[in-house]
Structure 1
Amino acid sequence: MSSRYGDQPQEPEWLAKPSGACCLKGHLHNGDPKGSFERLADIETYVTKPSPEKDNGHIVFYFPDVFGFFLNGLLVMDTFAEAGYTTIGLDYFSGDPIYMHRDGPKVPQEGFDFEKWLAKYQKYAKEHVDGWIAAVKQKYGKAGTKYACTGYCFGAPYVMHALSKASGPACDVGGFAHPAFLKEHHFQNIEKPLFLSCAETDFTFETDTRNKALAILQEAKKTYSVQLFSGVEHGFALRCDLSKPYERWCKEESARGIAAYFDLHLGVYDKQSQKDGDSKL
């Protein structure tokens, strides 16, 4: 606290801590991405669309983890497209994701300055995300289009910003998995529903700070839902070991849970329920 003695204000504590060395770890998956790349607002952008029969007319913004546009992330974006959403992600690492700076699956390159790399792209993202969202809406938005957003690790603050008054809010609903870089104000400032997909063991979002975040949401009567998985760790929703059935299930259930929450708050669930009810008459 500041005082007449000139003490500096205390920096708010992290509720979801910054990314760390753990974020260099993880398994790479196999598959064929179904989307395409283009440049929007001069940023490399991945666009993946649902089939016409599944298209619900709405858009999901995807904010990547520190691995950026790696195969796992592209396939997760495709998963949201399969759920009916045109899904659009940006490469705020400008082709320089964290995996370019490691000598092995868990080993950073000798002399690599992780903090310098992090600061560079946090600054870039902060300066460019809003403009990129506006460009996406201008090109892909239509009358009646609603917007959701999802973020992983590094991407979580951009979800929270998009749900806050400071951005418009830019989105009608959002979700994140194993978040990083979140403080109290992120949870205090959201004005739209939030889905939290969490690992029981997570070095960034530990039990005590996760509970503090939930207490903030509860006290402020925010709209939210929590999904919590035991037996997995930070990164489970993107970089799990698919050879292990439980880890695969957690990853898939995380994406399903986020998409279902979007369906609920964007009116897709209600329309589908009415359709299913009519078909049984």
Structure 2
Amino acid sequence: MADSELATRAPESDAQDTNTPSSSGSPALASAPTNPPMTEHCTSDRPLPTGQSSTGELTKLNDIDVYISKPADYPHTPSRLLLLLTGGTGLHSVNNQIQADRFASEGYVVVMPDLFGGDPAPNSRLTAAEIGETSATMGAAGAGGGPSSSSLLDVFKVKALETAKTFLIDMWLARHTEEKVMPILEKVLEGARDEFADAVSHGSGVYAVGYCFGARYVLLLAAERPARPGQQQRQGRDEEANRSATVPPQIKAGALAHATLVSKGDFVGLKAPLSVVCVEDDPVFPDEVRIAGEEYMSENGVEHEVQVYPGVPHGEC
């Protein structure tokens, strides 16, 4: 992959260069909740530096909207193909596009697909209409209160807004499940292998990096897994074992940073080498999930590295 600073810095947050990784142990793999919450880092972009903009292009690949960024000297100089999977801010986030451009400057042809079909995650700030509606409701509830009603009302408003944000995120997550996202990735990979066959050949496969929401899909693409119903017809049946055919890893190697929505079971079947970057005590990528994943990779001979940064929140490693 590209240098560690580039690969681990979240597009939607500033890096904390003074943090150092810590080590951890490895308990047994077990089940875990599959839908932990997302934080505001998952749905908000940081302000762009003045005058900075993206340089790639928005186009379609196998009928999927993608952002493509290429090295300046491509195709005259051989490059490798990198699939960049975003957090909830999605395809049109300029931060995400600039991150793709930075990978391109390191010698990768970068394909960044729209994982959400034009429906990025709700921003961490509610819309003006939603805030106004909530405030009006809270104002009516607090009318006629005593001397402390104003301060209590303020607390109530904050809690109501937080609840509204969580509700919007939950509704959004329900629209963008594995069953919706994986077919998008399969189409993009099929198109990319055809369109950029030279880059795939030069790298002996496709590389992938994922942030936040997209990080889980790096895990899924790095694993050998049972074929989905739509794939079984193409893959055939394993009659001898009387089970569905499996799909081999779709990437050569992957990296994931500040993952969310990952369960311990998502590590099962991993084959491709992985680099995992995360923070300590992350509520959306709990230590128990990470540690169980480390143990699984160690026990099953999966080449991997794990960096854990203490003292920073999710999204700022």
- TM-score, normalised by the number of residues in structure 2: 0.64
Aligned letter for 1:124?
Answer: K
SS in 1 for 2:202: coil
Give the gaps of 5 or more residues in structure 2: 1-29, 128-157, 226-246
Distance 2:279 2:219 in 1: 19
Aligned letter for 1:59?
Answer: L
Match of 1:51 among 55, 61, 72: 72
C-alpha contact 1:160 1:186 (8 A) present in aligned 2:
yes
Match of 1:61 among 83, 87, 92: 83
SS in 1 for 2:176: helix
1:133-165 CA deviation, whole Å, 9 max, x = no partner?
A: 111111112243431001111112211121122
Aligned letter for 1:95?
Answer: G
| Alignment correspondent of 1:276 | none
Query: Using CA pairs below 8 Å that are at least 6 residues apart, which structure has the higher relative contact order?
Result: 2
Aligned letter for 2:172?
Answer: W
Deviation at 1:230, TM superposition (A): 2.4
| Alignment correspondent of 1:168 | 248
Alignment RMSD, CA only?
2.8
Distance 1:109 1:37 in 2: 35
Distance 2:124 2:176 in 1: 14
Distance 1:110 1:234 in 2: 21
1:166-222 CA deviation, whole Å, 9 max, x = no partner?
A: 343211000100112222332221111000011124211222332222111112221
Distance 1:21 1:181 in 2: 11
Distance 1:233 1:101 in 2: 16
Aligned letter for 2:280?
Answer: E
SS in 1 for 2:171: helix
Distance 1:199 1:88 in 2: 27
C-alpha contact 1:184 1:216 (8 A) present in aligned 2:
no
| Alignment correspondent of 2:98 | 75
Q: Which of these two proteins has the greater Rg computed from alpha carbons?
A: 2
| Alignment correspondent of 1:121 | 176
| Alignment correspondent of 1:29 | 48
> Aligned residues, how many?
226
Match of 2:292 among 212, 221, 229: 212
Distance 2:100 2:61 in 1: 17
SS in 1 for 2:289: helix
Q: 1:56 to 1:226 in 2, by over 3 A?
A: farther
Runs of 4+ aligned residues of structure 1 deviating over 4 Å after TM superposition are 53-56, 106-112
C-alpha contact 2:216 2:262 (8 A) present in aligned 1:
yes
1:219-274 CA deviation, whole Å, 9 max, x = no partner?
A: 222110112222322122xxxxxxxxxxxxx5xxxxxxxxxxxxxxxxxxxxxxxx
Distance 2:94 2:281 in 1: 25
Distance 1:32 1:75 in 2: 7
Q: Give the fraction of aligned pairs with identical amino acids, expressed as a percent.
A: 24
Distance 1:199 1:32 in 2: 29
SS in 2 for 1:113: helix
| Alignment correspondent of 1:12 | 31
Aligned letter for 1:133?
Answer: L
Distance 1:161 1:117 in 2: 21
| Alignment correspondent of 1:40 | 61
Does residue 221 (structure 1) correspond to residue 301 (structure 2)? The answer is yes
Aligned letter for 1:62?
Answer: L
Give the gaps of 5 or more residues in structure 1: 1-10, 237-249, 251-281
SS in 1 for 2:305: strand
SS in 2 for 1:209: helix
